[in-house]
Structures are given as C-alpha cells and as structure tokens.
Structure 1
Amino acid sequence: MPDTRAAFTVDPNRGPSDPLFRFGVIADPQYAAIPPNRELNRYYAKSLGKLNEAIETFNAAELQFVVTLGDIIDRDFASYDDILPLYSRLRHPQFFLLGNHDFAVAAQHLPAIAARVGLERTYYDFAGGGYRFILLDGNEVSLFAPPEGDSRRAIAADHLEALTAAGAANAQRWNGALSDAQFAWLDQTISAAEQAGERIIVMNHYPVYPANAHNLWDSERVADRLTRSRHVVAYFNGHNHAGNYGALGDIHFVNFKGMVDTPDSNTYAIVEIFEDRIAIHGFGREESRVLPLARG
C-alpha cells in the first residue's frame, strides 16, 4: 500500500518562479564508532557531525520530506542507537532506504533491521505534488540481508554465479537484486501512477545506470522497465560513494555522493522540482545540477 505520511499538494500561493516543492537527500552516512579506513577514505565516526550539519540546513529550509538513500550505518546493530536519534531533530517527514551496510550486523538482528528504522515494508511508495515516489529495496535478493537459510540467499548465489561467469563488473557480493515479486510491484506501481497522470521519481540504494561495479544485479531489467514509461523522470541512488550521472532517453540517473567519505568535507543536497526541470542544489562535495524535464 502507498505510504501517505508525506502526501502533499503544491502551494497555491507560490510565486511563478518558485518550485512546486523541495526535498532533502542524504546518501551513505555509514556511521560506526570505529577508526577510519584511510585507504578507502571513509571516516565512519565523523558522520554524526556531518549529519547534524545536514539536518540544520534542512530545518532552515521549507521541505516536503528528507530521504536517506541507504547505508545509515556501516556495521553493528548498536550503531543505530547513536545515529537514529539525530534524525528525530528533523522537522520534516523522513524516509529511509536500506543499503548493504545496514545489514552488517549479527545474524540474530537481521529480521529486526527494517523495524529498527521505522519501516513497515522495505519497498514502498508515496505521492505528492503530482509525483509518485517509488522506493525500492535492492537488498531483497542478496547474500547478506535475508536471514540464514532463507531461499533468497540461494537465488542470490545463482545471480552472482551467472554474472561472474559473464565477466560482469557488478558481480560483487556487496550488491543485490529485486525479487520477482518486488519487480512485479514496481511494474504495477508505475502503471498506476501513469493512469493517475503522475510523474515518477524512483529511488534505490543501488544504481542501475550507467554500468559500473556498484549496479544492482538486475539493473538491466529495472532500467528497461523505467525507460518504457514516459512518466518516469528520474532515478536517485547512493552506494557508489564517488557519485555518478547518466541519462537514458528523458530519464536522469543521479548517484549522490557518500557522506562517510573524507575527514572533513560533507555532502548532501536539496532537490527542487519545477514544471520544466529538476534543480539539485549540492552542499559540500555534492554537485549542483539542472536537469530538464520532457514535456507531456
């Protein structure tokens, strides 16, 4: 069922040059109370201060919601006890996606991850301002998120084996895929949004385009479904901390940079939606972009 917590309408009193609405984006805080990995340029404990800074910026802006694109923590179930209270300072509705590192916990905690961050479902959708937001769970079929003995782990092993045999760059144990049931839900949700005349923004922890080592294992079937809809305008994700951008037809694929990287520079964004464009205002290392929207 759609999540209605963030349902909103466009302000009828907005000026002609004002956006329809705005929202905040965070990718990969990947917090843990551990020493940095300087080889990977990851400073896990510093993400608390960076998140505080982002929340202060968001609270000073008029936003409809804030979304975190996965990897809230780096490891250890207790890490949630440190970082989740910071989110309670947000004055806006907040939404979480889960990433691969969110499941780097002791096996007995795996079934509790979604509830720990307040999710009834790990993939869901909501609407507002003439848009349908579709939030996917790229961990559903993986070697780390399903509990031990779950049949999805065997399906994941088959995915990885086939990709490895094909020499695919994304044949990595730290990637995952959608289940067939979730893919069918994605297809149905896109069709329902089309019938409602809504534009669509899809979000996931994992990229699907351009091709790189971080992509969802079933990135090709997901990208193909998105490009068959004239209503899908953008796909937002994290996971690849370096960031990335690509376009397929009229769809913009934006990979936001990882907050956990570097000892002292931050990265997050405020996204403004206009009738004819998406404006991404990057803070710190995040790039600012203006993405044109196709008419119709």
Structure 2
Amino acid sequence: MMAVTNGGVVHASSREPLFSFGVIADVQYADIPDGRSFLGVPRYYRHSISVLQRAVNSWNKQQNIKFSINFGDIIDGYCPKDKSLWAVQKVLDEFEKFDGPTYHMFGNHCLYNLPRSKLVSLLKMPTNSDRAYYDFSPCPEYRFVVLDAYDFSALGWPRDHPVTAEAMKFLDEKNPNTDKNSPDGLVGVDRRFVMFNGAVGKEQLLWLNDVLHNASLCGQNVIICSHLPMDPGSASFAALMWNYDEVMAVVHQYKCVKACIAGHDHTGGHSLDSHGVHHRTLEAALECPPGTSAFGHIKVYPDKLLLVGSDKMADTEMCFEL
C-alpha cells in the first residue's frame, strides 16, 4: 500500500513554507547480518544506519530544516542484548550530527531492548517525568503532538508492573493464540490485537484532549506523531494501535488536527479519513537495499503539508481546509 499524492502529482508551490522538518522511521539498526521479516521481506540491519547518515546529510545541506522527527524503532529486536545500549548510542550519535533538534518516540523494538525509564533519558524526551508523550510548537500556527503508543502495553514495563498484567489480560481476551505476536485467526481490524502493538492510556487521552482544546483556542493546526498508525486505510490491520478508535474519537471532536503521521508498517501508506484528517505511514529505513534510502522532509504551509521523499519514501501532498 504505497502512499500516493492527491491526483498522483506533487505540485510545486510558489510560496515559501512556514518551516520544514525531517522525517525518518524504523531504522532498526543492529550489528548483525541481513535477515528477513516474518513475511520474508529482506531487512538490512547494518545498512540502515547509512540511510540515517544520508538523511542527516540531506537535511543539513538544505539548511532550512528546523527539526527532525524519528518515528521510533531506532534499533532492532534482534540486536544482541549486551549491545543494546551501544547500538542505541551509535544511532543517537548520528542524529546528533543534524544541525537542529530531533524529537523521538518509542517503538516496540526500542522496548524489546531497553526499559522505558532508560529510553526516556537516552532519547532526551522533553517531559517533566518518565512519561513519553509531549507536545511542542515550532511556530505560532502549528503544534506537534508526540504520542506514546505503548503507554498501555505488555512491552517496556517491568514484568511485575500492574500495566504489564493488565495488558496481558487484555491480550488474552482479544487474541486466543498462544503466540500473542500472531494475528492468525483474527479478522479485519481485530488483527491489531498483538503484543507488538499497544495503546494510548486513559491519562494520556485526557492530556491529548486538553492539548487539542488549547490548540483550537489558539487557532493552531496540529500534526499528531505516533509510532503506530491510527487509520485502517493507511496501514495493514495488524499494525494499528489497539485503541486507535478511541484516540481518533478525541481527535475528531476538534477541527485543528490536519495529519497523523506514523511508522511501524514498513511498506508505508496514505489515507484521508471521514473527517478530512490525513494519515501518512512512513516507509522504513530498515528495508532499503544498500545504495537506497527511505527518509524525507515535510514542507509545512498554512493549508497543506508536502512530503518530499527519497527513493523508497513516496512524495505526498496533503491538502486541508482551513
């Protein structure tokens, strides 16, 4: 499900954007030989960091990229656990070469390797606690919301933590398979009830509502960023956030949200939901053969977003009503 532009063509704009920002998803670096996904898709664990290096070089050369956003999974679950910290730091060192701030979020592979509390610190998340969701405003017209898609999940919390127990109980009710990472036998969007996905918790939902309410009062457009996609049209059913419907019910109460951008589903996708919100799932850096890339930058205008991709990341124009 490749992303497409409106009408199949990205139109050049005569106007200068308000700002631009870099995007990359699912680097999933590991110092191990190439492998394949459970679907047989080749994965290039060592090469993926080269994709990130090319992304940073590209963003720096343009000199007008205000910040970058990493959509999670900076290292892979197959990374040897005694090398997890080293691998995360190696990837972060490459992000540090970008001439601007990078905003990070958790992916499931991050949580296979390190606990949440350690990652919040390593990723320098701009929060006042161990929580991994936050918002920021790069200009008066726009606000970005970064969700923690694994706030309620069986990943990253200590084994004896109440959230772990509650999430496992939830999975047992939704997924009868012994292997909770398997969607076998689940139908339609119920295929999302697997352990490698997660949900936005109740406290975070209340926080999101407050942020969107305030953004509406300020007349701001909002871009929501999440590792997990939140629209069935933009990703495979097995890649969706557990409670994407609850999150979008909050989002659809307001007209300020213009786009939801995600990673996780490596083939990428684009959809426009019934309320006019764009959903763009980004293609993965991990699945780029040597010499190819998947990253991009998004030009932000008052009435549209223009994703300019490289190689495997498709260009996408996302127009919206003011």
Q: Same fold (TM over 0.5)?
A: yes
Kept in 1: contact 2:48–2:288 (CA 8 A): no
1:255 is matched with 281
Rounded to whole Å, the distance in 1 between the matches of 2:166 and 2:313 is: 36
The answer to whether residue 62 in structure 2 is matched with residue 56 in structure 1 is no
Which structure is higher in RCO with an 8 Å CA cutoff and minimum separation 6? 2
1:161 is matched with 172
Kept in 2: contact 1:42–1:261 (CA 8 A): yes
Rounded to whole Å, the distance in 2 between the matches of 1:86 and 1:78 is: 13
2:143 paired residue among 103, 108, 132: 132
Partner secondary structure for residue 318 of structure 2: strand
1:86 is matched with 94
Gaps of 5+ in 1: 1-14
The answer to whether residue 94 in structure 2 is matched with residue 67 in structure 1 is no
1:148 is matched with 159
Assess, with a 3 A threshold, how the Cα gap between structure 1 residues 261 and 185 changes in structure 2: closer, same or farther: same
Gaps of 5+ in 2: 1-12, 78-83, 177-185
Rounded to whole Å, the distance in 2 between the matches of 1:146 and 1:54 is: 32
Kept in 2: contact 1:21–1:274 (CA 8 A): yes
Deviation track 1:10-34 (CA, whole Å, cap 9, x = no partner) reads: xxxxx97111111110111011111
The answer to whether residue 295 in structure 2 is matched with residue 268 in structure 1 is yes
Deviation track 1:23-73 (CA, whole Å, cap 9, x = no partner) reads: 110111011111111333111111111111000000012011100000011
- TM-score normalised over the length of structure 1: 0.90
Kept in 2: contact 1:140–1:146 (CA 8 A): no
The answer to whether residue 21 in structure 2 is matched with residue 40 in structure 1 is no
Instruction: Give the counterpart letter for 2:134 in structure 1.
Output: Y
1:159 deviates by: 2.8
Kept in 2: contact 1:163–1:170 (CA 8 A): no
> Which contiguous aligned blocks of 4+ residues in structure 1 show a shift greater than 4 angstroms?
none
Instruction: Give the counterpart letter for 1:213 in structure 2.
Output: A
Instruction: Give the counterpart letter for 1:205 in structure 2.
Output: H
1:184 paired residue among 206, 214, 217: 206
Kept in 1: contact 2:265–2:283 (CA 8 A): yes
2:121 paired residue among 115, 126, 132: 115
1:97 deviates by: 1.0
Rounded to whole Å, the distance in 2 between the matches of 1:233 and 1:159 is: 31
2:181 is matched with none
2:309 paired residue among 270, 279, 282: 282
Instruction: Give the counterpart letter for 1:206 in structure 2.
Output: L
Larger deviation, residues 22-31 vs 35-44:
35-44
Kept in 2: contact 1:159–1:217 (CA 8 A): no
2:217 is matched with 195
2:252 paired residue among 208, 227, 249: 227
Kept in 1: contact 2:288–2:312 (CA 8 A): no
Kept in 2: contact 1:71–1:102 (CA 8 A): yes
1:27 is matched with 25
- TM-score normalised over the length of structure 2: 0.83
Kept in 1: contact 2:288–2:294 (CA 8 A): no
1:214 is matched with 239
Number of residue pairs aligned between Structure 1 and Structure 2: 279
Rounded to whole Å, the distance in 1 between the matches of 2:303 and 2:200 is: 31
